[in-house]
Chains A and B, each alone.
Chain A
């Protein structure tokens, strides 16, 4: 039985702007979220992300991504509008990610939740902590957009199955 909306921040805070997802989760939890909306740090979870796709009516993913924008600018898209690159052939466990988890769910015929992605263009994915100034400058607009996205999402009683 599915319930609620999950905001899932993905990334590694030790790789500069890749830490955007966890940082957004931290900021949102500080600001407070509408009832029925949960924000979780998905880290760099690989195929284990599958379980996040099974427990919620709606999943909003926040991740640093190459979306063809200037650093700090973001793009919002539905999973239906874009293809996440999944390695359908062989892959090492160290590079399995959301794309592979969704491909596995699809291959098993699982019903996916409604998935919205906020992809923000990174500037630096080098080793180190802290977002680059360009991404830091874009953070506020992203937080506002994510909160706007989930506003009124009090769907705790809904079932997606």
Chain B
């Protein structure tokens, strides 16, 4: 039996699935990344430090804030720039906005159609209008909070080295806070919806890698931890990622303690459950989830739980900002010097690293960006190889759909990783 899916749909970018079996034996089973390489690391070289977050934000139209945040962090560490508490709070708020935006896009637009028996969000709008209206409401809210803090929805203009060039007003914050409180209804409905979906049964335990902090659900900075018991400062990220090239993929593969590891919402949920907001833990209980969850398909359910967390934590951040009052700060003067820095953020699809070297004039001389989807490629392939033998008795169409759903469970951002989707059963 040969199954080939060229350009898997409902993902971001282009990748192919190739499966070839003979007499129940797997001959070929892989996920190929056919997206063209992007070369971002090459074209930031020679650029001044204050341009890098704006350039690398363009790696992704979904995780622009995540890239900008990791990028600024790397630059600030290299140049010894300290952040005010207000800046830290505003960055967290914006990061939550993007996390919700990305997760609602994936869970509602890309994953839900698989379970509700439609091809895309457009027929879903006819068959389940209330579901799509809710998704659009959540998406608008998350986009609006990003615009309030960052100056616009995507590719934040107000985020600068050391601070913000524009600040939200207390009136805007108060109005936004009220909308986040109202969004609790949509969160409850979301968890109820995802609780009814028939997630495919599939267990394969793997190594889960994420950031970790003692005092909060780690999304920006922290230490790198693995469910196999390893812990590293973020500067040692290469000890975890060990990038290698494979012939059929423009996304590099990574491995750490095993042949592969997994990053993303499920890895964070497994490693950092204790730091989730109590309402998010309640949501997890409603979905029957408690670590260690080893069904890859439930990565999307973990995203729904994270949406609840981000809504609640955003409310608390806005409360704190309002209590403190918005101070009219401007980004500090940067004392330009030679330096090297690593930034790490756990963005919607998993742990992201930006690593820069600057010369004495603040010009970037070397850069390395390691994107979550790339880190998940080897693990996705391992999942495919484990899943296919379990479902060989099913029809080719069923197998094809299941493999596409497995790929989508990772929420792959293929263009970003290529340096990554179509399914080919050959």
Task: Answer yes or no: do A and B interact.
Answer: yes
Q: Is the CB of A51 within 8 A of B140?
A: yes
- Report A's interface with B, CB cutoff 8 A: 47-48, 50-51, 86-94, 100, 103-104, 107-109
State whether A92 touches B10 (Cβ < 8 A): yes
Bound-state CA distance A50–B338 (Å) is: 46
Taking CB atoms, residues of chain B closer than 8 Å to A103 are 122
Q: Is the CB of A108 within 8 A of B120?
A: no
Give B contacts to A, CB under 8 Å: 7-14, 105, 109-110, 113, 119-123, 125-126, 129, 132-133, 136, 140, 143, 153, 415
Q: Is B122 a contact of A104 with CB atoms below 8 Å? A: yes
Q: Determine the chain B residues whose CB is within 8 A of the CB of A109 once the complex forms.
A: 129
Is A104 a contact partner of B121 (Cβ separation < 8 A)? yes
Q: B interface, by DSSP: helix, strand, loop or mixed?
A: helix
Q: Is the CB of A89 within 8 A of B119?
A: yes
Complex contact A87–B120 (CB within 8 A) = yes
Determine whether the beta carbon of A93 is less than 8 Å from that of B123: no
Instruction: State the Cβ distance, B148 to closest chain A Cβ, in Å.
Output: 16
When the two chains form their complex, are residues B140 and A94 in contact, meaning their CB atoms are under 8 A apart?
no
Closest residue of chain A to B11, judged by CB? A92
Specify which of B12, B121, B129, B153 is in contact with A92 (CB 8 Å cutoff): B12
Bound-complex Cα distance A50 to B13 (A):
21
User: CA of A94 to CA of B9 in the docked complex: distance in angstroms?
Assistant: 10
- Quick one: given A50-B136, A51-B140, A108-B132, are A92 and B123 in contact (CB under 8 Å)? no
Of A48, A50, A93, A94, chain B has the most CB atoms within 10 Å of the CB of: A93
Residue of B with least CB distance to A108: B125
A108 to B13, Cβ gap below 8 A?
A: no
Q: In whole angstroms, how far apart are the Cα atoms of A17 and B143 in the complex? A: 30
* B residues in contact with A47, CB < 8 Å: 109, 121
Instruction: Tell me the bound Cα distance from A50 to B121 in angstroms.
Output: 13
Give bound CA distance, A109 to B127, whole Å.
Answer: 12
Complex CA distance for A109 and B132, rounded to whole angstroms:
12
Which partner residue on chain A sits nearest B110 by CB separation? A93
A90 CB contacts on chain B under 8 angstroms: 9-10, 113, 119-120
Provide the residues of chain A in CB contact with B125, threshold 8 Å. 104, 107-108
